[in-house]
Structure 1
Amino acid sequence: MERHFTRFASAMAHWAGSPAAFIAAVILILLWAVSGPFFGYSETWQLVINTGTTIVTFLMVFLIQNTQNRDGAALQTKLDELIRSSNAEDMFMGIEKLTDKELEELHRRCEQSARHNEALLERTRSERRKRGA
């Protein structure tokens, strides 16, 4: 069941993001708008579009969330494997489970390290320019 839902969710999310789906939605809205005078712009006429869009939106939320969860997990697994198999620090593996405060602190330390490395690189460039000149 899960594999079928996964395939269905992926296919629907892919189709929903396609130009064909967008064009179909625009045509449907235009047909609804054009039909307004024939139905006297009644409450039922308005209810049709409101109910239809609500149902489609409600269902699409679950399909898109499923796809994003799966894509996020796959991406995180790939990143963890790259970190594990490289000389990178293992402390970055699993950081998606940290709290917002812990992530902010780790981000601050990474930025501080980047500024330090940038300063070292600039000093090295400056010394090379002095020697070359």
Structure 2
Amino acid sequence: MTDMFWRFSDAASHAVGTYWAFLLACVVVVVWAGTGSFFGYSDTWQLVINTGTTIVTFLMVFLIQNTQNRDARVVALKLDELLRAVEGARTSMVELDDMSDDDLTLVQREFHRLREKYAPLIDDDLAHVEQELRARKKGGH
């Protein structure tokens, strides 16, 4: 069942992301707007488009979220493989997905500290710019 849902959500998300799906949605809106005078711009006429778009939006949220979750998982696994394949890389970084937000903040601070410390040694242009800006703020320039 899970595999069937994935296949459906993948196909649906690809289909609704096409030019043709957008064009179809535009045609539906134009046809709906064009029938307004025939139906006297009634509450029922307005309810048709509101209900239709609400239902489509509601269902698409789940399909798109499923696709995004899968894509994020695939990217994470590919990055994990790269970490494992690069000599000297800290393979403990593979476990970042399982860390709390506080732990992730600590890791981020550690990278920032390392960048500050080693930027002059590795010609990190962005770090040099950041250091220069901080020095200017401290100096009151």
Q: 1:35 aligned to 2:35?
A: yes
In structure 1, what is the equivalent of residue 101 of structure 2? 100
The C-alpha deviation readout for 1:19-76, integer Å capped at 9, x for no partner, is 1111111111111111111111111001100110111011111111111111111111
Structure showing greater relative contact order (alpha-carbon pairs closer than 8 Å, 6 or more residues apart): 1
Q: Alignment length, in residue pairs?
A: 122
Give me the whole-angstrom Cα distance separating, in 2, the residues matched to 1:20 and 1:104: 43
Give me the whole-angstrom Cα distance separating, in 2, the residues matched to 1:115 and 1:25: 51
The C-alpha deviation readout for 1:56-112, integer Å capped at 9, x for no partner, is 011111111111111111111111111122221022112022222221221121122
Q: Identity of aligned pairs, percent?
A: 47
**One-letter amino acid matched to 1:4:** M
Structure 2 unaligned segments of length 5 or more: list them. 124-141
Give me the whole-angstrom Cα distance separating, in 2, the residues matched to 1:22 and 1:111: 43
In structure 1, what is the equivalent of residue 127 of structure 2? none
Superposition TM-score, scaled by structure 1 size? 0.84
Aligned alpha-carbon RMSD (Å):
1.3
